[in-house]
Each structure stands twice: as C-alpha cells, then as structure tokens.
Amino acid sequence: MTINEIQDQVTEEFAIFDDWLDKYNYLIDIGRSMPSIDIKYKTNDYLIEGCQSKVWLHPSFENGIISFSADSDAIITRGIVALLIKVLSGRTPEEIMNADLYFIDRIGLKQNLSPTRSNGLLAMVKQIKLYALAFSTKTQK
C-alpha cells in the first residue's frame, strides 16, 4: 500500500466513531498496542524536543528502507506516534520526504490539538522527515 492508501485506511477507521470519546479511546488502544521501543534507545539522543509529553523516536535504515520505533510517556501521544509510524515506517527516504500528511486533519484530531500540542506533533513529523533527509544523502553516496 502507498502512504496515501494507508492514510485513507486510517481515516476510514476513525470515521466509524461519531463521539470524540470513542475516537480517543481508539487512539488509546492504538497507543497501548504499539510495540515498545528498545530500552537502549530511550535516551536523550532520541528524545524529540517540543512536546509536552516525552517522545522517543529511533530510526533504522536497511536496504534503502527506513523503519521507526517509538515511545512516549503519555498514552494519547503514543497513539499519535503509532499512527505516524504506521503511515511512514517501512518507506524509502524519498517517499517520506515527499509525503503529504493529511490524515491527522481528516481523523478530526488536529483541531483538538492546542498549539503546544500540535507543535509536539509537528516536531515528530519534522524529526521523521529529517531522518529521511539524512538517510537519502547516505543512499546517494
């Protein structure tokens, strides 16, 4: 599936819920079921600045594909990171760099994220794209 196909799928999954409480409960479930990051990556080196809650994000690069693992001390944030990973993990650097992330808007979470919170979200996306950029220069060499 392409990045956009996965985004559409996620959007559909959230569309089932009318009530915001159910949406958040679903997000909490997603956060809970995300595999934990390897403890050795839960360090300041992998901490993303700009979030009210702590987020650790670790990339690995193999055969031209970037995979991410992540964690957060807040469950809702964990859910959001899990969704980002679902959409963006296992992709080439180019795919990630060119991705237009519209699903957050469509699942109705963006308007509920206050500026500091969405800064946290933006910080995560920015970090993911930065890793992609770094790995893309590696491929070119």
Partner 1 sequence: MNKSIEEIRADFPILSQKVYGKPLIYLDNGATTQKPEVVISRVANLFRHTNANVHRGVHLLSDNVSEQYEAARETVRQYINASKKEEVVFTAGTTSSINTVAFSFGEKYVGEGDEILVSAMEHHANIVPWQMLCERKKAILKVIPFNDQGLLDMEEYKRLISSRTKLVAVAHASNVLGTINPIKEITAIAHKEGIPVLVDGAQSIQHGIVDVQDLDCDFFVFSGHKIYGPTGVGVLYGREKWLEAMPPYQGGGDMVANVTFARTTYNDLPFKFEAGTTNYPAAIGLATALDYVTSIGREEIAGREKHLLEIATRELSAISGVRIYGTAQDKVSVISFLPGEVHQYDAGMILDKMGIAVRTGTHCAQPVMDRYGIPGTVRASIAFYNTEEEMYALASGVRQVMEMFA
Looking at the annotation, which residues are catalytic?
51
Q: Is 98 in the site for partner 1 (CB under 8 A)?
A: no
Give me the least distance between CB of 126 and partner 1, in Å please.
19
Query: What are the structure tokens assigned to 81, written together?
Result: 């990171």
Give me the least distance between CB of 116 and partner 1, in Å please.
8
Q: What 3-state DSSP class applies to 120?
A: helix
Query: What are the structure tokens assigned to 38, written together?
Result: 């390897």
Q: Are 82 and 13 in contact (CB under 8 A)?
A: no
**Total of chain residues touching partner 1, rule CB under 8 A:** 16
Q: Is 106 in the site for partner 1 (CB under 8 A)?
A: no
Q: Which is nearer to partner 1, 114 or 137 (CB)?
A: 114
Query: What are the structure tokens assigned to 114, written together?
Result: 């206050």
Q: Is 122 in the site for partner 1 (CB under 8 A)?
A: no
Q: What are residue 68's DSSP bridge partners?
A: 59
What's at 86, amino acid-wise?
K
Out of 58, 96, 117, 127, name the contact with partner 1 by CB under 8 A. Answer: 117
Q: Are 50 and 119 in contact (CB under 8 A)?
A: yes
H or E element in which residue 83 lies: helix 75-88
Out of 76, 97, 123, 125, name the contact with partner 1 by CB under 8 A. Answer: 76
Q: Is 84 in the site for partner 1 (CB under 8 A)?
A: no
Q: Which of residues 32-71 bind partner 1 (CB under 8 A)?
A: 52-54
